[in-house]
Structure 1
Amino acid sequence: MTSDNAPTTPCAPPDRIAAMAARLTQVPGIRAVMLGGSRARGTHRPDSDWDLGLYYRGTPDVAALAAPAAAFQGSPVEVAGPGGWGPWVDGGAWLRVDGVQVDWILRDLDRVERVWDDCRAGRFEVGVQPGHPLGFWSPAYPGEVALGRVLSDPDGELTALRAQTSVYPEPLRAALAGAAWEAEFAVAAARKSAPSGDRLHVSLCLSRAFGVLTQALHAHHRTWCLNEKGALAAAAALPRTPAGFADRVDAALRGLDTAAVETASEVVREVRAVLGAAAG
């Protein structure tokens, strides 16, 4: 219980979000709306954003999306259509509702289903995408469905896909764990640049190496890794992750010198030993 004088934190009421989701699935092309991010996982703060995935088929009516966006925010909102934000994060809109950020993110349901088929066959892609400095890893698409909460799904399409993604595909686990070889390659490249003080190249190589290891560790435990944010701490908390994993990565990224490269090399060897032991 709080006192009458206690400060309040803006928070969009859940019923407003539910009404928004129901309204959005009335827009031509929008098939379902899913809540993602910390609010879907129950790890949010009162002021956390609301992340809504708008799953569409065909070409969504962007103009028709602008009308409810303006109604909910109380002022005009720019809605980016498919491709407006890049090749993987299709587009969407940023709203401010009841003092809290509400993000709409478009997702092509046909493409998500194709990526899911690839994942079940052990295939994945890493694409260039603004906002994803280590690239957009295609398994994030089914991972978002698996970890999200369906808010509106008139025809049950997204609900059915979510049921499928509740089981992490073994071929994907093997493929992502096997891709850890790239981390060793990246560290070898950094080792050549560190003596000359080329910190940009070293930082990019080491970041890539640690990003690959983080993806591999999540896959090894059949855990979806959606993006770079919080991924290092989450990987460090997984069983059998090498001791001091996060601290050693932090130290290497602060140093960016020859000693940092050798620390990175040790981390790579230890993680690959964990992955190799499971494979054998």
Structure 2
Amino acid sequence: MDEDRLVEIAGRLAQVGGILGVCLGGSRARGTHRPDSDFDLGLYYRQPLDTAALRGLAAELTGEVTEVTEPGGWGPWVDGGGWLTVAGHRVDWIYRDLDRVRRIWRECQAGKFEVGVQAGHPLGVYSHSYVGELAVGRILADPGDELRELQAELRHYPEPLREALVGNARWEVPFTLSVARKGASRGDAFYVAGCLFRAVGLLLQAQYADARVWVFNEKGAVQGVDELPTEQKNFAVRAQALFAALGTTSDSLAAVLDDAEEWAAEVVGGFAN
């Protein structure tokens, strides 16, 4: 899909009642996309949102009836939207309540974050991802300049948020790996794998925070750690090796936890104070 067509679609979306602006996000905003990557369009809105008009536009663009949800239709965090195919390209409309983004930004500045349960996000949705999406996104339509004004504020990663995420990893990672020992003694690979996934997820959130880089979700995040401007190297290789070696016996699970604890101590020890 060429740039002119993308901007045209964004402009039409911005004419729908309730939509304040449209921002290209995901891998295409970061420049890490593949040829078959989706076009993720964040639809920043304020209620009331004219979803009937959105459905009409979706039908016109796709040539068929296309489901477009009400706000909250996909759950509490991925707020709703629609999956479209436009001229052979996958175009995702993803709602973002702009007032909620503003509230979360204030919380980030105060060093507060929350993690929400959401389908498709096994680690959970970290609230600051809302802010990060707009911070690094490419604004395609913004009639009132509200997105651009807010984006200018978001360029600077808040130090209190960095301290909160790093501090959380310092205590929760060793705690999580220690409780995994109970599962390992029983050969409970399911429980140990879950604890290990949680521990690695906490470490990667802290790594991005320590580098003052926004991270949106789990997909590709482990591999991305090695590209951060930090001293930590081979994060992805070491993390993946832990999962590959799990096995199902008490001995194999305990050995993986030994390696995980040693590696986690190295990672946590490398964080700035």
The residue number in structure 2 matching 1:134 is 123
In the alignment, the residues of structure 1 paired with residue 238 and residue 2 of structure 2 have an alpha-carbon distance, to the nearest angstrom, of 41
Partners of 1:121 and 1:59 in 2: how far apart?
Answer: 29
- Distance (whole Å) between structure 1 residues aligned to residue 205 and residue 41 of structure 2: 24
1:38 to partner: Cα distance: 1.6
Taking structure 1 as the reference length, the TM-score comes to 0.92
Question: For the Cα contact (< 8 Å) 1:248–1:263, is it kept in 2?
Answer: no
Task: Single out whichever of 65-74 and 13-22 deviates more from structure 2.
Answer: 13-22
Residue 163 of structure 1, CA deviation: 0.5
Shift of 1:244: 3.2
Write the mapping of 1:74-85 to structure 2, written as runs, cut at 5 A. 74-85=63-74
1:270 aligns with 2:251: no
* Structure 1 residues 9-20: aligned runs within 5 Å: 12-20=1-9
Cα drift, residue 61 of structure 1: 1.4
Match of 2:217 in 1: 227
Structure 2: which amino acid aligns with 1:78? Answer: E
Shift of 1:240: 4.1
Q: For 1:163-189, what per-residue CA distance to the aligned partner results, in whole angstroms no more than 9, with x for missing partners?
A: 110011111111111110211111111
Find the aligned partners of 1:50 and 1:244 in 2 and give their Cα distance: 30
For the 8 Å contact 2:211–2:230, the answer to whether it is kept is no
User: Whole-Å Cα distance in 1 between the matches of residues 233 and 130 of structure 2?
Assistant: 30
Stretches of structure 1 that go unaligned for 5 or more consecutive residues are 1-11
Determine the C-alpha separation between the residues in 1 that align with 2:93 and 2:37.
14
CA deviation vs aligned residue, 1:53-112 (integer Å, no higher than 9, x gap): 000012311111101111111111100111111101100000001111000000000000
Structure 2 residue runs of 5 or longer lacking an equivalent are 247-252
Aligned to 1:92: 81
Give SS of 2:66's match: coil
How far 1:243 sits from its partner (Å)? 4.2
User: Are 1:30 and 2:26 an aligned pair?
Assistant: no
Pick aligned residue for 1:211 from 181, 193, 201:
201
Name the structure 2 match of 1:154: 143
Report the Cα distance in structure 2 between the residues aligned to 1:220 and 1:159, rounded to whole angstroms: 26
SS in 2 for 1:39: helix
Counterpart contact for 1:217–1:241, Cα < 8 Å: no
CA shift, 1:241, in A, is 4.5
Match of 1:3 in 2: none
- Find the aligned partners of 1:221 and 1:134 in 2 and give their Cα distance: 20
Q: Which amino acid aligns with 1:246?
A: A
AA in 2 matched with 1:86: G
Decide whether aligned partners of structure 1 residues 19 and 239 sit closer, same or farther in structure 2, where only a CA change above 3 A counts: closer
Structure 2 counterpart of 1:255? 245
TM-score (norm 2): 0.94
- Name the CA distance, whole Å, in 2 between partners of 1:64 and 1:48: 26
